[in-house]
Chains A and B, each alone.
Chain A
């Protein structure tokens, strides 16, 4: 097969390279350049140096959004993965009936778009809040934060569960049999056999849930819209609002600078996470 691939690989790589170049690399560098500009539309930009970055760092709402996003991403990553792994373990037990039906049910929320989910959960959570006499979502920072956590869990647990199930199924059964013969109990099997063999899956799931947590936008916009007073506004929504709810040319540049900071941040955190979890992966 080597010969064929060696000869023809450029042809196969071409579509991806082209779309990646036009869809990602060029806009990325253009965006990075625009973060140093004052502009309204991208073809009329004037260079202004670092002033956009200065303004972005001085914006208290941006700082608040950052810490809120960090807290959210951390908490949601931990919860999603713990719950998803627990469900995956439960659904891969031998002799359990109807596992496919359960898998489908758990996965289904993932098929609904974020905006729709946000509005549905807004109605649900508001109904609960009003029945217990608490302030509704748009005035309730705590409920807004936990509402987003619940929504994200509901949406993403099923997805991660599928990946974990695939991971669990690829563990060679002789490992598990050997553990059984050696007299390991379920808990020991989990920690000493399953999890070490799952590390590559865990790396992927952590990466996905962590970056999803940082990039969360639709759900934030639809569920709380940042209310009250930007207190439930996460980074992506903050950037969007900087772009579109302000008036005047300078705000586009500031929004762009925030977006670049945001991008660098997500990349750094993801790289660190990948490095840590990769080092724990084992070769089968």
Chain B
């Protein structure tokens, strides 16, 4: 070979040998580094007599990763129990969990997103009926059950509805009291859209982006209203088939979103969640359907300017309708973990939801509105607005969308909405909403 012309075979071989040796040394150095930290952990847990198990939490939310790590450190300092926090990269939780669970050092604490996720993981959930973390729940319904067994405990109560910019609504000549149902919401939105240049906005609603970063706002959250109303009427919680009783209302609200919007319908398929946030933050739109988890993104408009309306779709008892309130964040404890690790994990959870440090971290650092008895109230204005609404006698709408069959169902629905927004037929949405429910529920079995 010409490339090696200048180097003899012997030189080449010795060079390769040196490289391999070098790699070997690096490898050893790596090993010794890990083993020394391992022994360090062992020493620290040995030093405290009762601490034998350890905690490994696979966290779902990248935005609170640092807060969890800080909290874990505090706990380790106080008790000597080793707490490891690992966060899956955004959107890859299921993948990460699937690959971590078979390991000998599997997560002892993991998250489940609802009954759909439970379907995958119920064999791995420890029964939490007798656990302190379950007993600490202020609302004992915020759990995932498999028969009588409590498989997972919700740890964040989240609310969504139509977030609006108070300053802009006032500028348009309206106030929250003008919007009491779908008809008045539509009237106000249509008026703002008609006078958008005068008010200085680009549209009444932010772009209803149908890119996958944003389409969940409609396939999951908007769809929650027709689903919740239908389930309530039929007295079911997780049916195998649905009728789509309130589908016409779903069409009404979606039409409103895409008509009184900052952009042309044809552009929606490429609009992202970031587009919606930036439009709202820049004051280009008044209304933005989202929930309290989105507060961090929009807080630059000022807490006093952030308001929340119920997600009106023109059905049910709208005078009493409150925010959609529920969670997609449940804690489950690994049933396959060793008994010591399970105990350590349950102790850690108890500490997180009852201690001053834990409750403060959850509320202030992570911004969670937690459903536990000793939880600290969050200062998130969207959460506050939702809590005030419920205190004022409005009825929270449950998260019915949590029992949507699977991601496939949501993706297909997003696709149908996309086609509809680009000028297609509503029949596609109807098929994706109603018929696909039965198909995908059957496919899960």
Chain A contact residues, CB within 8 Å of chain B = 1, 4-5, 8, 11-12, 15, 40-44, 122-123, 126, 130, 135-139, 170, 225, 227-229, 241, 244-249
Give residues 384-414 of B contacting A (CB, 8 Å).
405-408, 411-412
Q: Chain B residues near A228: list those with CB within 8 A.
A: 415, 418-419
Query: A139 with B422: in contact, given A1-B13, A130-B267, A241-B408 (CB under 8 Å)?
Result: yes
Q: Chain A residues near B211: list those with CB within 8 A.
A: 138
Please determine whether B266 and A130 come into contact, CB atoms closer than 8 angstroms. yes
Number of B positions contacting A (CB below 8 A): 40
The answer to whether the Cβ of B347 comes within 8 Å of any Cβ in the partner chain is no
Please determine whether B10 and A245 come into contact, CB atoms closer than 8 angstroms. no
Please determine whether A248 and B412 come into contact, CB atoms closer than 8 angstroms. no
The smallest beta-carbon distance between B96 and chain A, in angstroms, is 11
A137–B271 CA distance with the chains assembled, in angstroms? 12
A226–B397 CA distance with the chains assembled, in angstroms? 34
B259-296 toward A: CB 8 Å interface, digit per residue (1/0)? 00000001101100000000000000000000000000
Please determine whether A248 and B415 come into contact, CB atoms closer than 8 angstroms. no
Query: A245 with B406: in contact, given A15-B20, A138-B210 (CB under 8 Å)?
Result: yes
Please determine whether A136 and B266 come into contact, CB atoms closer than 8 angstroms. yes
Please determine whether A40 and B120 come into contact, CB atoms closer than 8 angstroms. yes
The 4 A-B residue pairs with the shortest CB-CB distance, nearest first, are: A245-B407, A247-B406, A43-B102, A41-B101
Please determine whether A227 and B10 come into contact, CB atoms closer than 8 angstroms. no
Please determine whether A244 and B95 come into contact, CB atoms closer than 8 angstroms. yes
The answer to whether the Cβ of B119 comes within 8 Å of any Cβ in the partner chain is yes
Please determine whether B119 and A1 come into contact, CB atoms closer than 8 angstroms. no
Please determine whether B17 and A249 come into contact, CB atoms closer than 8 angstroms. no
**Residue among A126, A136, A244, A247 with most chain B CB within 10 A:** A247
A123–B272 CA distance with the chains assembled, in angstroms? 11
Closest to A5 in B: B13
The answer to whether the Cβ of B444 comes within 8 Å of any Cβ in the partner chain is yes
Closest to B412 in A: A229
Closest to A252 in B: B98
The smallest beta-carbon distance between B334 and chain A, in angstroms, is 11
Q: Chain B residues near A15: list those with CB within 8 A.
A: 20, 23
Query: A247 with B444: in contact, given A5-B13, A12-B17, A136-B269 (CB under 8 Å)?
Result: yes
* A41 CB contact (under 8 Å) in B102, B212, B407: B102
The smallest beta-carbon distance between B439 and chain A, in angstroms, is 12
Chain B contact residues, CB within 8 Å of chain A = 2, 9-10, 13, 16-17, 20, 23, 94-95, 98, 101-102, 116-117, 119-121, 123-124, 210-212, 266-267, 269-270, 405-408, 411-412, 415, 418-419, 422, 443-445
The smallest beta-carbon distance between B277 and chain A, in angstroms, is 18
Please determine whether A246 and B443 come into contact, CB atoms closer than 8 angstroms. yes
Closest to A241 in B: B408
A41–B116 CA distance with the chains assembled, in angstroms? 17
The smallest beta-carbon distance between A191 and chain B, in angstroms, is 26
Closest to B264 in A: A130
Q: Chain A residues near B269: list those with CB within 8 A.
A: 135-139
Closest to B215 in A: A138
Closest to A242 in B: B408
Query: A138 with B120: in contact, given A15-B20, A245-B407 (CB under 8 Å)?
Result: no
A229–B422 CA distance with the chains assembled, in angstroms? 15
* A246 CB contact (under 8 Å) in B10, B13, B407: B407
Interface of B, helix, strand, loop or mixed by DSSP: helix
**Residue among B124, B211, B415 with most chain A CB within 10 A:** B415
Please determine whether B102 and A247 come into contact, CB atoms closer than 8 angstroms. no
Q: Chain A residues near B418: list those with CB within 8 A.
A: 138-139, 227-228
* A248 CB contact (under 8 Å) in B20, B419, B445: B445
Q: Chain A residues near B408: list those with CB within 8 A.
A: 241, 245-246
The smallest beta-carbon distance between A7 and chain B, in angstroms, is 11
Q: Chain B residues near A248: list those with CB within 8 A.
A: 119-120, 443-445
* 9 residue pairs bridging A and B, Cβ less than 8 Å apart: A4-B13, A5-B13, A11-B17, A40-B123, A135-B422, A139-B419, A228-B418, A229-B415, A247-B444
The smallest beta-carbon distance between A211 and chain B, in angstroms, is 24
Q: Chain A residues near B9: list those with CB within 8 A.
A: 1
Please determine whether B119 and A227 come into contact, CB atoms closer than 8 angstroms. no
A15–B121 CA distance with the chains assembled, in angstroms? 38
Q: Chain A residues near B98: list those with CB within 8 A.
A: 40-41
Please determine whether B270 and A249 come into contact, CB atoms closer than 8 angstroms. no
The smallest beta-carbon distance between B10 and chain A, in angstroms, is 6
A30–B13 CA distance with the chains assembled, in angstroms? 35
A228–B407 CA distance with the chains assembled, in angstroms? 15
Query: A138 with B270: in contact, given A244-B407, A247-B406, A247-B444 (CB under 8 Å)?
Result: yes
Please determine whether A4 and B10 come into contact, CB atoms closer than 8 angstroms. yes
Q: Chain B residues near A44: list those with CB within 8 A.
A: 102, 123
Closest to A15 in B: B20
Q: Chain A residues near B270: list those with CB within 8 A.
A: 122-123, 126, 130, 136-138
Please determine whether B123 and A246 come into contact, CB atoms closer than 8 angstroms. no
Q: Chain B residues near A246: list those with CB within 8 A.
A: 406-408, 443-444
Beyond A4-B13, A247-B117, list 10 extra A-B contacts (CB 8 Å).
Answer: A8-B13, A11-B17, A40-B123, A41-B124, A44-B123, A136-B269, A138-B211, A138-B269, A139-B418, A246-B408
Query: A225 with B212: in contact, given A1-B10, A136-B269, A241-B408 (CB under 8 Å)?
Result: yes
A247–B414 CA distance with the chains assembled, in angstroms? 18
The smallest beta-carbon distance between B379 and chain A, in angstroms, is 36
Closest to A2 in B: B9
The smallest beta-carbon distance between B113 and chain A, in angstroms, is 11
Closest to A1 in B: B9
The smallest beta-carbon distance between B325 and chain A, in angstroms, is 24
Q: Chain B residues near A247: list those with CB within 8 A.
A: 116-117, 119-120, 405-407, 444
Q: Chain B residues near A41: list those with CB within 8 A.
A: 98, 101-102, 124
Q: Chain B residues near A245: list those with CB within 8 A.
A: 406-408, 411
Query: A227 with B415: in contact, given A41-B102, A136-B269, A247-B120 (CB under 8 Å)?
Result: yes
A266–B422 CA distance with the chains assembled, in angstroms? 38
Q: Chain A residues near B123: list those with CB within 8 A.
A: 40, 44
Q: Chain B residues near A244: list those with CB within 8 A.
A: 94-95, 407
The smallest beta-carbon distance between B418 and chain A, in angstroms, is 6
A135–B210 CA distance with the chains assembled, in angstroms? 13
Q: Chain B residues near A130: list those with CB within 8 A.
A: 266-267, 270
A139–B102 CA distance with the chains assembled, in angstroms? 39
The smallest beta-carbon distance between A236 and chain B, in angstroms, is 15
